[in-house]
Chain A
Amino acid sequence: MSQDTLFDKVWDLHKVSRLPGGSDQLFIGLHLIHEVTSPQAFGALKDKNLKVKFPERTVATVDHIVPTDNQSRPFKDNLAEQMIETLEKNCLENKIRFFNIGSGNQGIVHVVAPELGLTQPGMTIACGDSHTSTHGAFGSIAFGIGTSQVRDVLATQTIAMNKLKVRQIWCENKLSHGVYAKDLVLHIINELGVKAGVGFAYEFAGPAISTLSMEERMTICNMSIEGGARCGYINPDEKTFSYIKNKLCAPKNEQWNKALTWWKSLKSNEHSIYDDVIKLDASKVEPTVTWGITPGQSISINQKIPLLDDLSPNDKLVAKEAYEYMSFKPGQLIKDTPVDVCFIGSCTNGRISDLRVAAKVLKNKKVSKNVKAFVVPGSEKVATEAKKEGLDQIFKDSGFQWREPGCSMCLAMNSDKLIGNQVSASSSNRNFKGRQGSPSGRTLLMSPAMVAAAAINGRVSDVREFIN
């Protein structure tokens, strides 16, 4: 059983009681909500005649259903309009702070909370969204919950949960030129498998993690859930503190110094005990692309799609399904696979640094005429900053469509969808069957830089051929 890790310290601090069944009752320090998984929770509260216990500990934004072309109200899609109206009403009635479209702070919930300084080390953070693990990049314990647990957090600010085990994933050395956090996390999921993290929190550590920026760290923690771990985190350091400093909701004045002292005391250290430790060499990671229907089915850009015989018995069943669905032949190269749609955005890779990297690849280049390419900034703040830096113009000049912030084609709840069996090169997080809006649509996950390279060539390409 783990001891003295950041996870243990934060969990123990937030434990309210041991419930009769043996689960822990855990206090949730920050609760984030959005329009998709909260309406039924507010409904249940009403049915039970309960109030929101600490309205100031819940913050809302709208992201999943928002259109990215025309955001004027009412939305063209009646159901989407009904969802945003329901959220507006619930927030108003329950005195919950809501960052709506046009507030300057709307966006994907996992992009917004960190850039507002809401996400801080040592907190427990829950949200009705599996990519809540993103916030672990700051040394918080953050995880996705379902709607019934959203109801419980609203009513009690606590949930019933069993403590997770802790696995440290130690990443030696550092990433090579042209290789990004996305490649590293896809590599980790491929190495460990998509269910290795069940029952675990992942602590990402080592020199390759320390050298990453905060936004890159968010990309890593974001995809913990794709490896089965509902929670992933990184111990906070000077980069964490300087990212938070001066953000809207960051501690100010004497509170800042108190916060800093406390945050520094939380880290795992040489006395920490883990349930498991895995070591890997980050310098060996290459630009990585998924070829299948789970985020674990990935290869580096110059590799061939694995033969059935090369896979473990456990992986064969899904591999067979993947060959058929993706129309790939075992042994085929992934490089040069034609793509129809290129999507840059999502809570994994829709931040300003992602847009900068992609814009650098696209500068003075044109998107292939066979490709529909669009970029969806992760938030209004990201969009504003990108415009200030002239990135929007670089994207537009290259042939990318510049859109308004939201989740968009990561899960295709708005009108941004694949059509038929189109192939997308996508900076998002899931390549599940039908994920991007067409029941036969095919998704290749990769870094935003690799999406940009694929957009130019109209084929899956090695971004290292585009950058110096």
Chain B
Amino acid sequence: MESVFTPPIGKISHISGKCISLNGNDIDTDRIIPARFLKCVNFDSLGESVFEDDRKTLKGRHPFDLEENKDATILVVNSNFGCGSSREHAPQALMRWGIKAIIGESFADIFYSNCIAIGIPCFTLSKKLIQEIQNYIDNKFLFLEIDMKNSLAKTKDLILNLEIKESSRKMFLSGEWDATSTLLENENLIENKFNQLPYIKFNSHLT
């Protein structure tokens, strides 16, 4: 039976699961989800198309096709992951495939914000540590337990100090990463700001 996707909701304080490693710098969002899959009015079917072209090229040898990775939830990547297009379809596709957290050397800005906004924490580690982890995963299974409160990832015999932006960490712990309701709490302040801005009247046709 096919599992039904349930998006994350509320506080995110613990994530545990098997790691999947994807090697390469500057992996862009066109590769994560090619543009032809953006012809949709919802995100539902994106999971199966994640890395579609890279997977076809590798004919079953892509990490996202390997049987042993089928139930992985923590993606380990290199530098500038998610560069390029702002398409949220990219993290949505990863999430719908099964990814719940990403650990990498570095992330592109818009991709990072999109991940936060949909509840995928992105952590960074040094290049050296990432490579050690990736080498390990090449040969053995790695299960991590991520503790958001203390920014730690634990295995049986190893503790990693993960880095994450403090504002992101707090948002995951409070549930505020799902930002709309928090933003709406300041409705009066928003109205005030609108009335204060010097240029609202400049676009007279818009009022």
User: Do the beta carbons of B113 and A120 come within 8 Å of each other?
Assistant: no
- B189 to A21, Cβ gap below 8 A? no
Q: Given A25-B186, A118-B203, A156-B184, A14–B30 Cβ distance below 8 Å? A: no
Indicate if B38 sits at the interface (CB-CB under 8 A). yes
- Residues of chain B with a CB closer than 8 A to A250's CB: 202
Q: What's the minimum C-beta distance from B4 to chain A, rounded to whole angstroms?
A: 17
Q: A318–B193 contact, CB under 8 A?
A: no
Q: Is A435 an interface residue (CB 8 A)?
A: yes
Question: Is A102 interfacial (CB-CB < 8 Å)?
Answer: no
Q: In the complex, are the beta carbons of A21 and B88 less than 8 A apart?
A: no
Report the Cα distance A440→B57, complex, angstroms. Answer: 9
The answer to whether B133 has its CB under 8 Å from any CB of chain A is no
Q: Which residues in window 28-65 of A have CB below 8 A to B? A: 29-30, 36-37, 39-40, 43, 48, 50, 53-54, 56-57, 59, 64-65
B117 and A148 form a contact (CB under 8 A): yes
B193 touching A434 by the CB < 8 A rule? no
The residues of A that contact B184 with a CB separation of less than 8 Å are 50, 155-156
Q: Which of A22, A118, A413 contacts B170 (CB 8 A)?
A: A22
Q: Which A residues are CB-close (under 8 A) to B161? A: none
Contact between A21 and B174 (Cβ–Cβ < 8 Å)? Answer: yes
Which of A120, A149, A194, A433 contacts B199, CB < 8 Å? A120
Encode A128-152 as 1/0 by CB contact (under 8 A) with B: 1110100000000001111111011
Q: Which residues of chain B in 170-206 are interfacial with respect to chain A, using CB atoms and an 8 Å cutoff?
A: 170-171, 174, 176, 179-180, 182-184, 186-187, 189-190, 193-194, 197-206
List chain A residues, Cβ under 8 A from B200: 29
Of B13-21, B76-84, B135-143, B146-154, which stretch is located at the interface? B76-84
A318→B41 contact, CB < 8 A: no
Instruction: Indicate whether A13 reaches chain B with its CB closer than 8 angstroms.
Output: yes
CB distance B174 to A20 under 8 Å? Answer: yes
Is the beta-carbon distance between B35 and A439 smaller than 8 angstroms? no
CA gap between A132 and B186 in the complex, in Å: 26
A432 contact from B30, B108, B171, B190, Cβ within 8 A = B30
Question: Out of A27, A162, A413, which one reaches B35, CB within 8 Å?
Answer: A413
Is A122 interfacial (CB-CB < 8 Å)? yes
Find chain B residues with CB under 8 A from A262 CB: 198-199
Quick check: B179 and A16 within 8 Å, CB to CB? no
Q: Is the CB of A123 within 8 A of B199?
A: yes
- Cβ contact within 8 Å between B41 and A230: no
A317 within 8 A of B: yes
Q: Please tell me if the beta carbons of A228 and B197 are within 8 angstroms of each other in the complex.
A: no
A residues 64-112 near B (Cβ < 8 Å) are 64-65, 77, 79-80, 82-83, 86, 97
Tell whether A311 is near chain B: CB-to-CB under 8 Å.
Answer: no
Name B127's closest neighbour in chain A (CB-CB). A314
- Contact string against B for A residues 278-320, beta-carbon threshold 8 Å, 1 for contact and 0 otherwise: 0000000000000001100000000000000000001001100
CB of B30 within 8 A of CB of A434, answer yes
How far apart are the CA atoms of A240 and B206 in the complex, in Å? 21
Contact of A27 among B107, B182, B194 (CB under 8 A): B194
Q: Which of A252-260, A344-352, A356-364, A367-375 contacts B (4 or more CB under 8 A)?
A: A252-260
Q: Tell me whether B31 and A434 are in contact (CB under 8 A).
A: yes
- In Å, the complex CA distance between A236 and B36 comes to 38
Cβ of A411 within 8 Å of any chain B Cβ, yes or no, is yes
A47 → B minimal CB distance (Å): 11
**B 23-40 binary contact with A (CB < 8 Å = 1; else 0):** 011101011001110111
> B125 at the A/B interface (Cβ < 8 Å)?
no
Partner of B168, one of A21, A30, A82, A132: A21
User: Which of A14, A86, A159 meets B193, CB within 8 Å?
Assistant: A14
Q: Find chain B residues with CB under 8 A from A155 CB.
A: 180, 183-184
Q: Are A80 and B176 in contact (CB under 8 A)?
A: no
Task: Answer yes or no: B56 CB below 8 A from chain A CBs.
Answer: yes
Q: Are A146 and B80 in contact (CB under 8 A)?
A: no
Q: Is A198 an interface residue (CB 8 A)?
A: yes
From known contacts A130-B85, A198-B108, A228-B83, infer whether A294 and B170 are also in contact, taking CB-CB under 8 Å: no
Judge if A23 is at the interface, Cβ distance under 8 Å: yes
> Could you tell me the distance in whole angstroms from the C-beta of B99 to the nearest C-beta in chain A?
16
15 contacts between A and B (CB under 8 A): A13-B197, A16-B190, A21-B167, A37-B87, A53-B190, A77-B39, A120-B202, A122-B198, A146-B91, A147-B88, A158-B186, A198-B109, A262-B198, A411-B35, A437-B35
What residues of chain A have their CB less than 8 Å away from a CB belonging to chain B?
A: 13-14, 16-17, 19-23, 25, 27, 29-30, 36-37, 39-40, 43, 48, 50, 53-54, 56-57, 59, 64-65, 77, 79-80, 82-83, 86, 97, 117-118, 120, 122-123, 128-130, 132, 143-149, 151-152, 155-162, 194-195, 198-199, 225-226, 228-230, 248-252, 255, 258-259, 262, 293-294, 314, 317-318, 321, 411-413, 430, 432-435, 437, 439-440
Top 6 nearest A-B pairs (CB, nearest first) are: A146-B88, A146-B114, A148-B117, A144-B86, A21-B170, A439-B53
